[in-house]
Structure 1
Amino acid sequence: MSVPHRSLEPIFLAFLLLSFSVAAAYSSIHELLRSHGLPAGLFPESVKSYNLDQRGRLEVNLDGPCLAKYETRVLFETVVRANLSFGQLKGLEGLSQEELFLWLPVKDIIVNDPSSGLILIDIGLAHKQLSLSLFEDPPVCRSQGLSLNIGGRKSIGFQDQR
């Protein structure tokens, strides 16, 4: 028994609309994070755009690399990527955290239990538990006047952008 071609059209259209509405359902990256059990302040207020595909791959675009401060300084590259699932940003790329004068890549950000008030930051060599309250509001990200040596490998220059 074959299925008439016309009966598949509504199913295909519904699938297309659902796949495009994943990211479109949220007015900002901060709202998207909240809906996934994460604090809104994980990304700076200066996010230019973001995209979330059906597999949960998140790509966040900023105007350029910039520094923000939580408990320590954090460097956001122009593009930050991660796998987004409820309470987790896994496999992060484009985010580094300063630890003892070294810049280490942030690998994962996890909120296991929101009621605990803690967030887990995995920087590879160590796991840090920080207060969720540090990440409630999106930070201001600054790019002026800094030159950094990231992990002793590459140098990123920051220019004053006005």
Structure 2
Amino acid sequence: MAFRIRMNLVVILVFVFHLIGGYSSSIQEVLRSHGLPAGLFPESVKSYNLDQKGVLEVKLDSPCIVKYENRVFFETVVRANLSFGQLKDLEGLSQEELFLWLPVKDIIVDDPSSGLILIDIGIAYKQLSLSLFEDPPVCRSQGFSVEMIGRKRIGFEDQR
């Protein structure tokens, strides 16, 4: 009887601790629990929110560029629909391809044992090694500027 009371008390304390913000999983833990690699977002993630519908919103300190196989541009806010092995309908993420910056639409890991991740950039699909995304990369915000004229246009300088 005393053991049961202590266990119930522990469960209640953990629940209360979680509610008041004493426990929060990292974006890396959320990605791993959904079958995705931990390094899809840079280490400069300020906060994130995952709602009950699976909409993931990730906020960074500032827009920045990361180098995986190619350069990737993260806006201050990145949104996507998160489901197991997938980030779909991404907003706020672009990848450089042949001197063009193309929006990343989806990121998919169909079979983790294959060691591959699929990146949908609209006009093509790229298969990359999952090992590129094991650890959160460092985000560089120096040397580029973002210019807004009508539709978004990204101006970069001093990147290589």
Provide Cα deviations, 1:87-131, integer angstroms capped at 9, x if missing partner.
000000000000000000000000000000000000000000000
CA RMSD between the two structures: 2.3
1:104 counterpart residue number: 102
| 2-structure distance, mates of 1:78, 1:145 | 16
Contact between 1:147 and 1:155, CA under 8 Å: does it hold in 2?
no
Pair 148,79 (structure 1): closer, same or farther in 2 beyond 3 Å = closer
Identity between Structure 1 and Structure 2 (%): 82
SS in 2 for 1:27: coil
Name stretches of at least 5 consecutive residues in structure 1 with no aligned partner.
1-16
Q: Residue 65 of structure 1 aligns with which residue?
A: 63
Matching residue of 1:85: 83
* 2:117 paired residue number: 119
What TM-score do the two structures reach when normalised by structure 1?
Answer: 0.77
Whether contact under 8 Å (1:26, 1:32) holds in the other structure is no
Residue 135 of structure 1 is matched in structure 2 by: 133
After TM superposition, the structure 1 = structure 2 runs for residues 46-61 of structure 1, keeping only pairs within 5 Å, are 46-61=44-59
Kindly state the Cα deviation for residue 154 of structure 1 after the two structures are TM-superposed: 3.5
Q: Deviation above 4 Å: which 4+ runs of structure 1? A: none
Aligned residues: 136
Distance in 2 separating the partners of 1:107 and 1:51: 19
* Corresponding position of 2:6: none
Output the CA distance in 1 between the equivalents of 2:154 and 2:88. 24
Distance 1:105 1:157 in 2: 15
Query: Out of 25, 34, 37, which is 1:36 matched to?
Result: 34
Runs of at least 5 residues in structure 2 that lack an aligned partner in the other structure: 1-14
Q: By how many angstroms is 1:25 displaced?
A: 7.2
Q: Report the CA distance shift for 1:95/1:105 in structure 2 as closer, same or farther (over 3 A).
A: same
